[in-house]
Chain A
Amino acid sequence: MTTVTVDKATPTRKVKYGSMSRDRTWALRWSYFFLVIFAIFSLTPPIYMLITSLKSSAEISAATNPWWVFHPTLENYVGLLTSNQFLRFFWNSAIVSIFVVTITMLISVPAAFALARMRFWGSAVLATGVFLTYLIPETLLFIPLFKMFAVIGDWTGIQLINRWYVLLILYPTLTVPFCTWIMIGYFASIPKELDEAAIIDGASWIQTLTRIFIPVAFPGIIAATIFAFTVSWAQFLYPLVFTTSTDQLVMPVGIITSLIKGDVFNWGQIMTGALLGAAPPLIIYAFLMDYYIAGLTAGATKG
Chain B
Amino acid sequence: MADVTLRKVVKRYDEVEAVRGIDLDIADHEFVVLVGPSGCGKSTTLRMIAGLEDISDGDIMIGGDIVNDVPPKDRDIAMVFQNYALYPHMTVAENMSFGLRLKRYPKAEIKSRIDEAARMLDIVELVDRKPKQLSGGQRQRVAMGRAIVRNPKVFLFDEPLSNLDAKLRVQMRIEIKKVHQKVRTTTVYVTHDQVEAMTLADRVVVMNHGRIEQIGTPNELYHKPATKFVASFIGSPAMNFIPCRLEDLAGKLHIRLTDRIAFPLPPARAARYQGIPRTDKLLLGLRPEHITEARPHLASGMEAFDTVLDVTEPMGMETLIYFTLEGSQVCGRVNPNAGAQDGAPLRLAVDLNNMHLLNEVTGVVL
Contacts and interface: CB of A to CB of B under 8 A. Distances in A.
Contacts of B51: 200
B99 A303 contact: no
> Chain A interface: which size bin?
20 to 34
A194 interface: yes
Contacts of A160: none
Given A216-B88, A301-B132, A201 B73 contact: yes
A299 B87 CA distance: 11
Interface in A168-227: 191, 193-194, 196-203, 207, 211-212, 215-216, 218
Contacts of B52: 196, 199-200
Contact of A200 (B77, B83, B87, B132): B77
B98 interface: yes
A196 B102 contact: no
A193 B83 CA distance: 8
A298 B146 CA distance: 22
Interface string B58-95: 00000000000001110001110111111111000000
A193 B146 CA distance: 14
Nearest to B102: A202
A81 B73 CA distance: 58
A261 interface: no
A31 to B, nearest CB: 30
Interface string B17-49: 000000000000000000000000000000000
A193 B85 contact: yes
A194 B72 contact: no
A200 B73 contact: yes
Contact of B132 (A191, A194, A207, A303): A303
Contacts of A119: none
Nearest to B99: A201
A302 interface: yes
Nearest to B143: A197
Contacts of A198: 87, 98
Contact of B102 (A191, A203, A299, A301): A203
B102 A200 contact: no
B218 interface: no
A119 to B, nearest CB: 12
Contacts of A212: 87
Nearest to B97: A201
A187 to B, nearest CB: 14
Nearest to B156: A200
Contacts of B331: none
B309 interface: no
A5 B215 CA distance: 45
B73 to A, nearest CB: 4
Nearest to B81: A193
Contact of B88 (A200, A207, A303): A303
22 contacts: A191-B83, A193-B83, A194-B85, A196-B52, A197-B146, A198-B87, A199-B71, A199-B72, A200-B51, A201-B99, A201-B146, A201-B150, A202-B73, A202-B102, A203-B102, A207-B102, A211-B98, A215-B89, A216-B88, A299-B88, A301-B88, A303-B85
Given A194-B85, A201-B150, A202-B103, 15 more contacts: A194-B87, A196-B52, A196-B81, A197-B86, A199-B72, A200-B50, A200-B51, A200-B72, A200-B78, A200-B99, A201-B73, A201-B102, A207-B102, A216-B88, A298-B88
Going nearest first, the 8 A-B pairs with the smallest beta carbon separation are A303-B88, A201-B99, A193-B85, A202-B73, A197-B85, A215-B89, A193-B81, A202-B102
